[in-house]
Amino acid sequence: MKEKIAVIVVMAAFLATLSHSRVFADDEGGETAYRFDPATQTSRALEYKNTWAGYKLYQSNCKSCHFRGNDKGARFLDTDSRTMRGWNTLFYKKNVQCAKDGSWAKLSPEELMDVNDYLYSKAYDTWDPRSNKSCG
């Protein structure tokens, strides 16, 4: 009897883990989205690990200036300030004041790519079923 219970407990734990990992694998709505990076000419999977890393880097290295009402002369910036293509162009050309004056220098090329992945995944022309963006 004890053994049977042990087996059931192990099975339940196993199933719980399985269903959990599905949640993470599913975080792009079942299919992994990709971003073609013009600088490196590679295709990047928009997975949780790089978009989450990008989100944190964006919050600490971009939003530190680009928040509403800041005194650094930076315009308010949000993920939907640019289209998917617009974000790619920004990180490819780096032709904005802060990129030129060294404010991006703390971030490595790989980190900038993660920020690009994050912003791309939430850009103006992406569709999020949890938001009302597409309702006009």
Q: Which is nearer to ligand HEC, 30 or 109 (CB)?
A: 109
CA distance 131 to 13: 34
Alpha-carbon gap, residue 96 to 50, rounded angstroms? 24
User: Of the two residues 56 and 66, which places its CB atom closer to ligand HEC in the complex?
Assistant: 66
Position 66 contacts ligand HEC (CB under 6 A): yes
Does 113 interact with ligand HEC (rule: CB under 6 A)?
Answer: no
Count helices and strands in the chain by DSSP H and E runs: 5, 2
Instruction: Dihedral sign for Cα 58, 56, 51, 80, please.
Output: negative
User: Which of 37, 53, 74, 124 contacts ligand HEC by CB under 6 A?
Assistant: 74
What residues line the site for ligand HEC (CB under 6 A)? 61-62, 64-66, 72-75, 77, 81, 90, 96-98, 103-104, 115
